[in-house]
Amino acid sequence: MTPLFAALDTQALTQYLINGLSYGMLIALVALGYTMVYGIVELINFAHGDLFMLGAFLGWTIITAVFKVSPDDAVLGPVALLVCFVIVPAFCGLLNFSVDRVIYRPLRKAPRLAPLVSAIGVSFIFQNLGLFWGGPQDVDFPKLVSNKNLLGLDATVRFTYQDLLVVGVTIPLMIALTVFVKLTPLGKAMRATAQNPTAAQLMGINTERVIATTFILGGTLAGFGAMIYGLTINSIHYQMGFLVGLYAFTAAVLGGIGNIPGAVLGGLLIGLVRSLGSAYVGERWTGALIFAMLIVVLVFRPAGLLGARVREKV
């Protein structure tokens, strides 16, 4: 092997790592919503991916129909983006909160299957709304953030403005979330509720308020994820919530469901498998690879990579 070839190879590898981590952060954002909700109410929120999809459609409508941004508008573009980054997360947070209030909350004392099946129902309704909103075809999401290389035009490794956007949005959000959960009273109440809801209630914690906060936070993160997805992938579809949601849920389970750093770790792992898998195995096999990885991890570590092994109580 010539040295040149070897050098090219590491560059390609660096590129795959960048792409993988970038996508992984996006998945991690969505995974956080799953893992937090599961940690508190033990519900696989099947509608989470579709909430994410609706957020992307709202962003698309704001940019194309409300602001009518043309692709290279230097003033209107950033303004629309800023508005989107406020409204879309707020919308997703509120919607998630309302769904919990109207649909899951009356089922808190019902058997486990009831909220789960209801969540599948909500997911269907969201998908249908997405179908009415954007139609059955792929919808172009305006390319407001360029994919020009930040490292210079002729650099062999690409780190684009889009990658910068992903890093610049997700990392502060994750830090803020960690600070919130670790340091604020409400975050403490959240951890207490996750550990033992009855005991938390006995200690005077308003668990319903904690649950509502969790749904709002999870939804908000999905809203940020939706904007990032739209701006980096530039194509949205009413069924996209299924696969992204599935990857995100897989990420949450990989890391150990209910575990916040675990969800981030799981997301990054999935991003890496996806990018390295499409480079070295073939893109069409990445889906199968990711789920195969999930099955293998669950078989050997049923509680996920960072999850504590909880003994079943009798």
154 near other proteins (CB under 8 A):
no
Kindly tell me which of 75 and 313 has the beta carbon lying closer to other proteins: 313
Residue 192: both structure tokens together: 């207490």
Kindly tell me which of 155 and 288 has the beta carbon lying closer to other proteins: 288
72 near other proteins (CB under 8 A):
no
From residue 97 to residue 126, what is the string marking binding to other proteins with x (rule CB under 8 A)? ------x--xxxxxxxxxxxxx-xxxxxx-
314 near other proteins (CB under 8 A):
yes
313 near other proteins (CB under 8 A):
yes
2 near other proteins (CB under 8 A):
no
Which residues inside 191-230 make contact with other proteins, applying CB under 8 A?
Answer: 196-198
Kindly tell me which of 108 and 143 has the beta carbon lying closer to other proteins: 108
Which range in 20-28, 130-138, 182-190, 269-277 contacts other proteins by CB under 8 A?
130-138
Q: Residue 231 Cβ, how far from other proteins at the closest point, in Å?
A: 27
Which residues inside 292-311 make contact with other proteins, applying CB under 8 A?
Answer: 292, 294-295, 298-299, 302
253 near other proteins (CB under 8 A):
yes
Which residues bind to other proteins, rule: CB under 8 A?
A: 38, 41-42, 44, 103, 106-118, 120-125, 127-129, 131-132, 135-136, 196-198, 242, 246, 249-250, 253, 257, 282, 284-285, 287-288, 291-292, 294-295, 298-299, 302, 312-314
